[in-house]
Amino acid sequence: MTDAALTPLGAGFFAAARDRLRARAEAAGLDGLLLLRAPNLAYATGLFLSANERPMGVWLPVAGEPILMLPGLERENAEGTGLSDLRFYDEFPDELPAVLWMLAQIGRKSIAIDLLDASLLDAARDRLIRLDLTDHAMLERAIKQPEEIALTAEAAGFADLFLTRLQAAAGDIIAQGGTEADLMADAMTHARGALMTKHKAAFTGTPMGITASVHSGPRAALPHGAVLERTPQPGETVIAGIGASLGGYHAESGVTLIVGEISAEQRRIMQAMTACDDAAVAACANGKTCTAANEAALETLREAGLGAAIRHRIGHGMGLEGHEAPWLAPGDPTPIQPNMIFSNEPGVYRPGRDGYRTINTMIVTETGVDVPSRFQHNTPIDARVIAL
């Protein structure tokens, strides 16, 4: 966690973001962009609202003023953005779908829309000369600005804080018959309390918080298993995966701990996962494509004889969404560039037996990769134990 005072993104950030998005629209030969996805709306306006079923949108023309278009019940929230052209529809679903109402308000014929229900596709095409369904805002969001990177790096420290508390307190909790749910609740209270103590005053009104999962023993073989009232047993693995957010920006940290002593087989697997983590960092630092980085990282697990235990990609982008493009996965040819942010998640899963996963946040720089997640760096494999 940084010591410098951080503040939420300000009006200047959002104005600059709109300018970059306008430039993308102009380069694509469009009249402008209609942004409907909630993270894109937040990126362009600073408006962090739950979309629910009522569509919200902002029109960013290449020339002219933005138009913010919301349901009428959000009038006061719209006025807080500082945008001058605010327009409201009555209710959802209404006789004229809100997105088609927005197109009528815009009155332009060459538009990109980042999200469109298939049921509205024909009607939208009938109203336009050119409909571009590229998410231009997500392409822009993939390259983070310094203010965004600072928030992500700070969030990573609170994800680490959960892990530090978990390792310190887990032995006593388990000795008293405590469960996965108890372990998670204790560490969650600690990390969230620290986050709120430091940042609540400045960041009230923006998304911030901690999410977590704790799985043990055979349950650790389920990457997205439920947290249970199950007491971890000596010799078992305990996986903790933590997400933290500050000012709307996400980071992740995670580790595999062993209850009691680490066996030779457990150490071998954990060493292979460290090699996998290192390979992902090297691939990102070398500017490989996302697909190539995924392959380079997972190949280390295959070389260690763990190929059959791979269940998922090595990572994903992070920012205004906990999981967002680009994807360190098969099928994403995006070249990795400075100021992209990714998770790095080596995983080994052996159903009915055990599971292992670590998570670091990676920030790609001009000279390499910064890793603001520090728990693994500060806790060597042989120290990743829960002492009973």
Residue-wise over 70-91: b if at least 16 C-beta within 10 A, else e? bbeebeeebeebebeeebebee
CATH number for region 11-141: 3.40.350.10
Higher pLDDT, 80 or 284: 284
d(C-alpha 84, C-alpha 38), whole Å: 20
Q: Distances in Å between the alpha carbon of 387 and those of 31, 48, 257, 359, 383?
A: 62, 42, 10, 22, 10
The pLDDT value given to residue 5 = 84
Domain ranges of the chain: 11-141, 146-386
Please give the backbone phi and psi of residue 100, each rounded to the nearest 5 degrees, phi first: -70, -35
Sign of the torsion angle spanned by Cα atoms 342, 297, 369, 134: negative
d(C-alpha 38, C-alpha 103), whole Å: 18
CATH number for region 146-386: 3.90.230.10
Average pLDDT for residues 173-197, to the nearest whole number?
A: 98
The pLDDT value given to residue 51 = 74
Q: What is the mean pLDDT of the chain?
A: 97
d(C-alpha 289, C-alpha 286), whole Å: 9
User: What is the SS3 assignment for the chain?
Assistant: CCCCCCCCCCHHHHHHHHHHHHHHHHHCCCCEEEECCHHHHHHHHCCCCCCCCCCCEEEEECCCCCEEEEEHHHHHHHHCCCCCCEEEECCCCCCCCHHHHHHHHHCCCEEEECCCCHHHHHHHHHHCCEEECCCHHHHHHCCCCHHHHHHHHHHHHHHHHHHHHHHHHHHHHHHCCCCHHHHHHHHHHHHHHHHHHHHHHHHCCCCCEEEEEEEEHHHHHCCCCCCCCCCCCCCCEEEEEEEEEECCEEEEEEEEEEECCCCHHHHHHHHHHHHHHHHHHHHHHCCCEHHHHHHHHHHHHHHCCCHHHCCCCCEEECCCCCCEEEEECCCCCCECCCCCEEEECCEEEECCCEEEECEEEEEECCCCEECCCCHHHHCCHHHCEECC
- % the chain with pLDDT above 70: 99
pLDDT per residue as tens digits for the range 363-386: 999 999 999 999 999 999 999 999
The least confident of 33-42, 73-82, 104-113 is 73-82
CB hemisphere CA count around 96 (13 angstroms): 10
d(C-alpha 363, C-alpha 322), whole Å: 14
CA angle 308–310–315, rounded 5-degree value: 165
d(C-alpha 267, C-alpha 235), whole Å: 12
Check whether 181 has a pLDDT greater than 90: yes
pLDDT per residue as tens digits for the range 251-275: 999 999 999 999 999 999 999 999 9
- Among candidate residues 4, 2, 43, 6, the one with its CA nearest the CA of residue 200: 6
Sign of the torsion angle spanned by Cα atoms 95, 97, 98, 103: negative
Higher pLDDT, 224 or 371: 371
* The two three-digit tokens of residue 288, written as one number: 């490989």
Task: Answer whether 265's CB lies under 8 Å from 353's CB.
Answer: no
- For residue 3, name the pLDDT band (cuts at 50, 70, 90): low
Say if strands 354-357 and 347-350 run parallel, antiparallel, or are unpaired.
antiparallel
